[in-house]
A = this chain, B = another copy of it.
Amino acid sequence: MTKSLKEQNASPKKTRRRSQSSHEAILKATVELLEEVGYVRMSIEGIARRAGVGKQTIYRWWSSKAALVMEAYTTVVANKFPLPNTGKVQEDLETIFCPLFKVLNTTTAGVALAGIMTEAQNNPELAQAFRDQFVASRRTTIKKILSSGIKRGELREDMDLECAVDSFYGAMWYRLLLGHAPLDEDFAQILIAQLLQGIQS
């Protein structure tokens, strides 16, 4: 995600273009530092130093630390979990959430996402971008699965889709941010089962 969505410069400019090597060095340094020191301890100055790059080169292309992190992780996390949506609802959901929880649990992706959410609390522009570019597509995936389930008659017609999606992702974020209990595959299965069946006897 670069500085602006309006970057699609209608007129393909004539002069020197963005340095590919700097771009990569910056993203690499970002990922490394995120692992090493965590989100808030990671500074733009530190990234520039590590990447062997001028600060301005970072500010030129990204609007904030979080935008940087978002670019670094968006593609990685994004396209790893393609849409199944072909079998039963429960299986489809497990196909999505089990590996997702595992990745958040065992890599720095969790810290990165938590960092973005953190910064979004005080950066409305980033919050918007995060919702639009990252969260929305993942929510849509779940909604499609649930919608298919409704069509197939597996799920109630009167259910609240948004609320259901919030239940899944809410529980995930809650454990990710609060850390009071493990965010593992077992949890994914129980969560899915329990929401599908309800807890009423």
**Measuring CB to CB, which residues of chain A are less than 8 angstroms from any residue of chain B?**
38-41, 114-115, 117-118, 120-122, 127, 130-131, 135, 146, 153-157, 159-160, 162-164, 166-167, 169-175, 177-181, 187, 190-191, 194-201
9 tightest A-B CB contacts, nearest first? A198-B198, A170-B174, A170-B170, A170-B171, A197-B198, A40-B122, A159-B199, A166-B171, A156-B201
Chain B residue nearest to A38 in the complex (CB)? B122
Find the residue from A115, A172, A196, A198 having the highest chain B CB count within 10 A.
A198
Cα–Cα, bound, A154→B41 (Å): 48
Find the residue from A121, A130, A135, A155 having the highest chain B CB count within 10 A.
A121
A178 near B117 with CB under 8 A, answer yes
Find the residue from A118, A174, A199 having the highest chain B CB count within 10 A.
A199
Cα–Cα, bound, A91→B160 (Å): 20
User: Using Cβ atoms and an 8 Å threshold, which residues of chain B touch A177?
Assistant: 117, 120-121, 173, 177
B163 near A174 with CB under 8 A, answer no
